[in-house]
């Protein structure tokens, strides 16, 4: 018998009425003969509310206790979802992460799943139950409640699907699939019928927030068939995330355009051009736990280089402090400065592998719009540029058109 995992996000379980709609959809699948595991998030806004409560007591809440609090959001949802199913005359049973049990490491608030003991839920499925599992939570080897990081219910859904060898993991959300770009920026953006895992990983890591990135990595690793769909629409196949590329003729060069405004740029000017300078700059940054994304090094005035990298906006001040206090004098640099008015725009597509001239087309498009490129980085299936924040929307719209994504 086919088994599917259906994960419903916060907006899909936001009210009792929405939860009843979830139950009706599950009932429909059940009547078609599927075994179903439902994974639910907390009702939308609830996790934020719980974090807010914790912060009213303690500004930097103790992580173990924070997990005890925030995991309750999902516990309410599983009870409600099971009730809604039972009310429709369907056998249903809820499980917290510990009850399943979903074993994680002990990194509170960002734990990783180590193992899922799925025997109990498999038995219930075989007895005809719909099993409703709390997303986002697990327990460590000592039995402490852990959570998987914001958006972690996606990862629960995928991990359960992997453990049970489900035929498909369906992620229900408030959009009807993955789009060529954010439709709020480009109204002509199109829903994709399918996207490859590699592309989805790039899109997710570049800030297209439909799926938690870890869940995509997990699905890639365990070959879970993933589909993103809307819980607000009765019909529609959503977007399938596949392992296969289309054949050459059908494969578009670019599948999507991702962007983010979350990064800031840090520049250290006039660094003596000697071996070890990159290490002397980035070592202290890494020691301060600051994640670096793009890096470029340019020839500066005679015998020196200029070094630029990007960090998350939240880390900008910390990065500048590290450079000013620990690096600048040490490497005899001239100047340190930061800029948080930047944006990153990336074009993503496996079709790039078999086409030349993709980068030059991107750069020509931007130059025709008079947009200056500050930084460039590339991978096999992605080209990213950093530009002035105020040109972001213009850049995305121009690229969307130039690569014919609106057709
Ligand atoms: N409720 C958690 C959050 O808001 C997990 C999730 O929704 O996936 O981050
Ligand atoms: Mg989510």
43, pLDDT greater than 90 = yes
Ligand 1 centroid distance, CA of 241 (Å): 21
The mean pLDDT value for 119-125 works out to 96
Nearest ligand to the CA of 74 is: 1
129 within ligand 1 shell (Cβ under 6 A): no
**Ligand 2 centre distance from Cα of residue 41 (Å):** 8
- According to the model, what pLDDT value does residue 139 have? 98
Q: Ligand 1, residue 42: give the atom nearest the CA.
A: 1
The pLDDT-based confidence of 185 (bands split at 50, 70, 90) is: very high
153 CA from centroid of ligand 2 (Å) = 7
Instruction: Tell me the mean pLDDT in the region 182-195.
Output: 92
The answer to the question of residue 113 being in a domain is: yes
Q: Is the pTM of this model over 0.75?
A: yes
Handedness of CA 387, 388, 392, 398 (dihedral sign): negative
73 in contact with ligand 1, CB cutoff 6 A:
yes
Q: Whose CA is nearest to atom 5 of ligand 1?
A: 151
Q: Kindly state whether residue 193 falls inside one of the protein's structural domains.
A: no
Query: CA nearest 195: which of 174, 172, 219, 230?
Result: 219
The answer as to whether 145 is a domain residue is: yes
Q: Which residues contact 127 (CB under 8 A, 6 or more apart)?
A: 91
The answer as to whether 31 is a domain residue is yes
From the alpha carbon of 212, which atom of ligand 1 is closest? 8
What's the pLDDT band for 248 if we cut at 50, 70, 90? Answer: low
Q: Which atom of ligand 1 is nearest to the CA of 48?
A: 4
Which residues are found with C-beta within 5 Å of the ion, ligand 2?
Answer: 9, 151
Atom of ligand 1 nearest to the CA of 150: 9
Confidence of residue 208 (pLDDT cuts 50, 70, 90): low
Nearest protein Cα to ligand 1, atom 4: 47
- Calculate what percentage of the chain has a pLDDT beyond 90: 84
Residue 380 counted as domain residue = no
Q: How far is CA 337 from CA 31, 168, 265, 296, 319, in A?
A: 62, 49, 8, 15, 10
Evaluated on CA atoms 157, 161, 163, 164, the torsion sign reads positive
150 lines ligand 1 (CB under 6 A): yes
Kindly give the number of the ligand 1 atom that is closest to the alpha carbon of 156: 8
Q: Which atom of ligand 1 is nearest to the CA of 153?
A: 8
Query: Average of pLDDT values for 338-356?
Result: 94
Mean pLDDT taken over the chain = 94
Q: Return the ligand number nearest the Cα of 149.
A: 1
Residue 182 resides in a domain: no
| 272 compared with 72, residue with greater pLDDT | 72
- Give the pLDDT confidence score for residue 207 in this predicted structure: 62
User: Residue 206 pLDDT more than 80?
Assistant: no
Query: What pLDDT does 99 receive?
Result: 97
pLDDT at 314: 92
For residue 320, pLDDT over 70 is answered with yes
Residue 101 lies in a domain: yes
* Mean pLDDT, range 194-219, rounded to an integer: 85
Q: Is the CB of 135 under 6 A from ligand 1?
A: yes
C-alpha 221 – ligand 1 centre gap (Å): 22
Judged against a pLDDT cut of 80, whether residue 368 lies above it is answered with yes
Three-state SS across the chain? CCEEEEEECHHHHCCHHHHHHHHHHHHHHHHCCCEEEEEECCCCCHHHHHHHHHHHHCCCCCHHHHHHHHCHHHHHHHHHHHHHHHHCCCCEEEECHHHHCEEECCCCCCCCEEEECCHHHHHHHHCCCEEEEECCEEECCCCCEEECCCCCHHHHHHHHHHHCCCCEEEEEECCCCCECCCCCCCCCCCECCEEEHHHHHHHHHCCCCCCCHHHHHHHHHHCCCEEEEECCCCCCCCEEEECCCCCCCCCCCCCEEEEECCEEEEEEEEEECCCCHHHHHHHHHHHCCCCEEEEEEEECCCCEEEEEEEEEHHHHHHHHHHHHHHHHHHHCCCEEEEECCEEEEEEECHHHHHCCCHHHHHHHHHHHCCCCEEEEEEECCEEEEEEEHHHHHHHHHHHHHHCCCCC
Nearest partner of 193 among 231, 147, 239, 159, judged by Cα: 239
**CA of 155, nearest ligand number:** 1
Please choose from 14, 39, 42, 49 the residue to mutate so as to test ligand 1's pocket, defined by most ligand atoms within 8 A of CB: 42
**Ligand 1 close to Cβ of residue 10 (< 6 A):** yes
Instruction: List pLDDT tens digits, range 90-112.
Output: 999 999 999 999 999 999 999 99
Domain count, the chain: 1
For 379-405, what is each residue's pLDDT tens digit? 999 999 999 999 999 999 999 999 999
pLDDT, residue 213, reads: 87
- Ligand 2 center–CA 154 separation, angstroms: 7
Residue 338 CA, distance from chain mean position: 27
Judge whether residue 172 has pLDDT over 70. Answer: yes
Confidence of residue 277 (pLDDT cuts 50, 70, 90): confident
Report phi then psi at 147, rounded to 5.
-125, 160
State the ligand closest to the CA atom of 151. 1
Confidence band of 302 (pLDDT split at 50, 70, 90): confident
Question: Is the pLDDT at 22 greater than 80, yes or no?
Answer: yes
Q: Which domain holds residue 101?
A: 3-174
Q: Is residue 42 lining ligand 1, measured as CB closer than 6 Å?
A: yes
Calculate mean pLDDT across residues 181-210.
87
> What CATH number does the domain containing 136 carry?
3.40.1160.10
From the CA of 73, give the closest atom in ligand 1: 1
Q: Is residue 328 part of a domain?
A: no
Residue nearest to atom 8 of ligand 1 (CA): 151
């Amino acid at each position: 018998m086919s088994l599917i995992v259906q994960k419903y996000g916060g907006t899909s379980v936001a009210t009792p009425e929405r939860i009843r709609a979830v139950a009706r959809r599950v009932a429909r699948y059940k009547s078609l003969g599927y075994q179903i595991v439902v994974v639910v998030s907390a009702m939308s806004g609830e996790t934020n509310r719980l974090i807010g409560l914790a912060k009213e007591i303690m500004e930097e809440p103790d992580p173990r206790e924070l997990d005890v609090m925030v995991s309750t959001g999902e516990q309410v949802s599983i009870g409600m979802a099971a009730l809604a199913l039972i009310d429709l005359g369907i056998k249903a049973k809820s499980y917290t992460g510990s009850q399943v049990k979903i074993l994680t490491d002990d990194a509170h608030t960002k734990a990783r799943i180590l193992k899922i003991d799925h025997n109990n839920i498999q038995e219930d499925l075989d007895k005809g139950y719909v099993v409703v599992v709390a997303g986002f939570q697990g327990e460590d080897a000592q039995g402490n409640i852990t959570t998987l990081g914001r958006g972690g219910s996606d990862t629960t859904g995928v991990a359960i699907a992997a453990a049970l060898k489900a035929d498909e993991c369906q992620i229900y959300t408030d959009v009807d699939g993955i789009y060529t770009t954010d439709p709020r920026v480009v109204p002509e953006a199109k829903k994709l019928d399918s996207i490859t895992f590699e592309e989805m990983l790039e899109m997710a890591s570049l800030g297209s927030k439909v799926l938690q990135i870890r869940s995509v990595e997990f699905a890639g690793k365990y070959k879970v068939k993933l589909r993103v769909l809307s819980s607000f629409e009765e019909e529609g196949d959503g977007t399938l995330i596949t392992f296969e590329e289309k054949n050459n003729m059908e494969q578009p060069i670019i599948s999507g355009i991702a962007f983010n405004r979350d990064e800031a740029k840090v520049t250290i000017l006039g660094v003596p051009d000697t071996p070890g300078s990159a290490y002397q700059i980035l070592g202290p940054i890494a020691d301060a736990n600051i994640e670096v994304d793009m890096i470029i090094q340019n020839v500066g005035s005679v015998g020196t280089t200029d070094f630029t990298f990007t960090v998350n906006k939240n880390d900008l001040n910390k990065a500048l402090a590290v450079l000013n206090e620990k690096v600048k004098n040490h490497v005899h640099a001239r100047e340190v400065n930061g800029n948080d008015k930047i944006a990153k725009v990336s074009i993503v597509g496996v079709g790039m592998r078999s086409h030349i001239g993709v980068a030059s087309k991107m750069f020509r498009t931007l130059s025709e719009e008079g947009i200056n490129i500050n930084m460039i980085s590339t991978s096999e299936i992605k080209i990213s540029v950093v530009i002035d924040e105020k040109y972001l929307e213009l850049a995305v719209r121009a690229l969307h058109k130039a690569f014919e994504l609106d057709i």
